[in-house]
Amino acid sequence: MAITLPSYAKINWILEILGKRSDGYHELRTILQTISVADQLTFSPIEAGIEIECDHQDVPLDRSNLVHKAATLLGEFTGIKTGVRIRIDKRIPTAAGLGGGSSNAAITLIALQKMWNLQLDPADLFSIGSQLGADVPFFFMGGTCLGVGRGDEVYPLEDLPAQSLLLVNAGISVSSRDAYANLPHELTNNDGLAKMPLSLKAAYAFSGSGSGDVVPIWELLKNDLEIPVLPLHPLIGDIKQRLKKSGARGVLMSGSGSTVFGIFDSQETRSRAQSDLSDTGWWCAPAHTLGRKDYRKACSWNGN
């Protein structure tokens, strides 16, 4: 019996670089959010091996695909020899700061546990996920989460109020390696580790609100990776300006880019903004935030 599940994208409301770690990675504090844009993955049992199919030409079908790696790691960890064919219907742009590959890997681990009649201990599941990528553990939770460490140490937060979003991607290729390599010294000298709030309420207080009142999320948007990326790719800055002029309350590049999201007061305002951008040829997708309860419900499986 085949299993079909959505594989949702994410954005980063906040992404702060707190310093350089001894293992060569950067210490992060990020607030992640699942959103409604999603790929669709279909898992079908076969006698042996791992086969990947995809409708997008830029997605590798070999062992370099995170989906293939996820299935391989799970099989090695559990000793399962059963094969699987995985069909990826791609709707999330690749290498776009939206976590599409990481989401696909997480959903693969979730689906194959069901298909192979497994129930991993959460610690083992998160350990396998962390080996695949820093964003993978987040997609076992969904909703609004705090990520620290490399971003792979994830803590669920109270979900933020629903937001209407417009995602824009002009097809720019941004190298995450270059983005991190070109961070200014003040973001890599570890001074930030001394001022690290560990909750969303603490983040509100840290931002200067002080009263404990919930402030709109667009007043907290921050992505330190914009500092090295925007000078290298000025079109991303142009997209931000276009979204602001089109009525977005807040705009930000997600992750290491190159997707930019805008937050809108209403679906009507968002629709007008999408119309304003219709002549650009850019990928534009309306979306909304997806809370943890709805995320987990959507990721439950139905055989077909």
Positions annotated as catalytic residues are 10, 135
| Cis peptide, bond prior to residue 256, ω within 30 of zero | no
Handedness of CA 251, 255, 256, 258 (dihedral sign): negative
Closest to 214 (Cα-Cα) out of 224, 229, 203: 203
Backbone angles phi, psi at 138, to 5 degrees: -55, -40
Q: If you ran DSSP here, which 8-state letter would residue 299 be given?
A: T
Closest to 101 (Cα-Cα) out of 124, 93, 225: 93
CB 121 within 8 A of CB 111: no
Q: How many CA atoms lie within 13 A of 279 on its CB side?
A: 2
Backbone angles phi, psi at 44, to 5 degrees: -125, 135
- Residues in contact with 204: Cβ distance below 8 Å, sequence separation at least 6, in sequence order: 212, 213, 214, 215, 220
Relative to beta strand 26-46, strand 144-149 is antiparallel
